[in-house]
């Protein structure tokens, strides 16, 4: 059983003018028995990617990085409602092996996001597990509220 469960959620808005998304990020850290440890939000102004799935994955990378950086030492279970949560570490590892280049050898325009995640994962003292979940737990409901607040801050500050 993990020491801490981290719930992450994103609420995004697609840009019409380019291949980007902006999003609100919600993070809730609890102990394994459900006691609140901390909450965070972030309003990510823009992530650029040629396709929407990758843009959403990059928002999830931002959320995971913030969560891991702020998590206590110990075994972590990161839960997300995004289907691609399990792909993050595999993608990061492959890019790092290629010198942070894309599979086709071109420079990765979001290399900085991947490097930050790598630093957060490498700097965490404990194991990290990733889990996709549809379960509507209190941590997820609170994450949605926090992500919505952060996304609305983006809209209000345009």
Domains in the chain (CATH in brackets) are 4-156 (3.30.420.10)
pTM score: 0.85
Question: What six digits make up the tokens of 36?
Answer: 């609140």
Q: Residues near 132 by Cβ (< 8 Å), separated by ≥ 6?
A: 79, 80, 81, 82, 83, 85, 86
Closest CA to 79 of 17, 102, 55, 71: 71
Residue 3 pLDDT class (50, 70, 90 cuts): very high
Share of the chain above pLDDT 90, in %: 38
Residue-wise pLDDT tens digits, 40-94:
888 776 676 667 777 778 888 888 999 999 999 999 999 888 767 778 888 899 9
Q: Residues near 97 by Cβ (< 8 Å), separated by ≥ 6?
A: none
Residue-wise pLDDT tens digits, 20-31:
677 788 999 999
Which pairing describes strands 128-132 and 4-14: parallel, antiparallel, or unpaired?
Answer: unpaired
Q: Residues near 111 by Cβ (< 8 Å), separated by ≥ 6?
A: 95, 100
Q: Which residue has the higher pLDDT, 22 or 34?
A: 34
């Amino acid at each position: 059983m993990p020491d801490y469960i981290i719930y992450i959620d994103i609420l995004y808005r697609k840009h019409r003018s380019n291949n980007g998304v902006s999003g609100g990020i919600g993070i809730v850290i609890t102990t394994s028995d459900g006691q609140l440890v901390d909450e965070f939000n972030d309003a990510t102004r823009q992530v650029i990617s040629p396709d929407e799935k990758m843009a959403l994955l990059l928002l999830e990378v931002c959320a995971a990085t913030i969560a891991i950086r702020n998590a206590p030492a110990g075994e972590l279970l990161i839960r997300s409602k995004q289907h691609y949560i399990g792909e993050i570490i595999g993608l990061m590892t492959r890019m790092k092996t290629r010198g942070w280049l894309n599979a086709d050898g071109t420079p990765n325009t979001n290399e900085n996001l991947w490097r930050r995640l790598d630093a957060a994962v490498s700097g965490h003292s404990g194991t990290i597990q990733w889990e996709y979940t549809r379960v509507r737990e209190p941590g997820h409901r609170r994450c949605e509220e926090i992500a919505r607040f952060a996304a609305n801050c983006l809209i209000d500050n345009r």
